[in-house]
Amino acid sequence: MAAHLTAHEKDTFIRDGIIVRRNAIPPELIVTARQLIDRWLSRDMDLTRVDAYTQRTFAPDLGDHPDILALFDQSGVADLVASLIRRTAPVTTAQIQIRLPAVAGGTHQPVKAMHVDGVACPHHNPAELRTFTLLAGVVLSPISAPDAGALHYVPGGHLAMAEWFRSEWSLGMTEQVPPHIGTQHGEPVLAQPGDLLLMHHLVPHAVGHNASSEPRVVAYFRISHERHHQQRLDALRDPWREYEPLQPLLA
């Protein structure tokens, strides 16, 4: 995998807030991580906790497992991130997100409406921000159809959200996105194991049911600029504040 983002990838990220690099992760890392998660699914998953897993993470004990963290720190992803963010806080855990087949055990898994991570989370105090800078998602299962648990995103939504945060939003509001964003269906991210998603934190996104016959599995890494905790509000209002390598390209 090339160690840096191409000029085209940077331009796409600036415009859309998201890029997908195909076959970015070495297959042996994908196989090892997926085997670990599959063992958890078959032996340890508690179907009565699906709501909690969906809101936070599946396989919570695996988030800091070396074979999961290897998807970030032994795959070249960290080098790609450096093309977007010059100085980052250490990445020490992953969020494992699984969309179960809709018929699995008769379990109803809640959908995730259009939102920006860490803002007015339904399960947290709306005055508490849990934001970050960049989301990196390593795809661990095929996502071949929009209704197969695919993430749906609003292209260019990071710019619209920054404007909303500047002009209308205030800390403590319970709305996660403005109405004109919340009603959009978004574009699906269709991908195969080993593909890598890099998405600006401000890109609004949603996730629906999985109508396929297999679990949809993605390992997400939340990446923060090293000063993010000191400038969370500024980063909501200025989408490029924490993306120093991109700033010369914005003029």
Residue 174 has pLDDT above 90, yes or no: no
Give the three-class secondary structure for 183. Answer: coil
Instruction: Dump pLDDT digits (tens) for 143-163.
Output: 999 999 999 999 999 999 999
Structure tokens at 184: 């959009």
Structure token digits, residue 31: 């196989």
The confidence score (pLDDT) of residue 127 equals 73
Give the residue from 101, 198, 91 showing the smallest Cα distance to 141.
Answer: 101
Residue 236 has pLDDT above 90, yes or no: yes
Cα separation, 167 vs 160, whole angstroms = 11
Tell me the per-residue pLDDT of 105-121, one tens digit each, with 9 for 90 and over: 556 788 899 999 989 77
pLDDT of residue 125: 72
pLDDT at 104 over 60: no
Superfamily name with CATH number, domain 7-249: q2cbj1_9rhob like domain (2.60.120.620)
For the chain, which residues make up each domain, given as ranges?
7-249
Band (pLDDT 50/70/90 cuts) for residue 27 is very high
| Range name among 8-17, 102-111, 219-228 with the lowest pLDDT average | 102-111
CA 1 from chain centre, in angstroms, equals: 21
Here the contacts of 118-126 (C-beta below 8 Å, separation 24 or greater) are: 118/201, 119/176, 119/236, 120/173, 120/174, 120/175, 120/176, 121/176, 122/55, 123/55, 126/172, 126/173, 126/174
pLDDT at 131: 95
pLDDT grade for 2, boundaries at 50, 70 and 90: low
Say yes or no to pLDDT of 29 above 70: yes
Q: For residue 1, what pLDDT is reported?
A: 61
Residue 45 phi/psi, 5-degree rounding, is -65, 135
User: What does the pLDDT read at residue 188?
Assistant: 98
Is 133:236 a contact under the CB 8 Å cutoff? no
**DSSP readout, 92-115?**
---EEEEE-BTTGGGPPPPPEEEE
Amino acid occupying residue 31: V
The pTM (predicted TM-score) of the whole model is: 0.95
To the nearest whole number, what is the mean pLDDT of the chain? 94
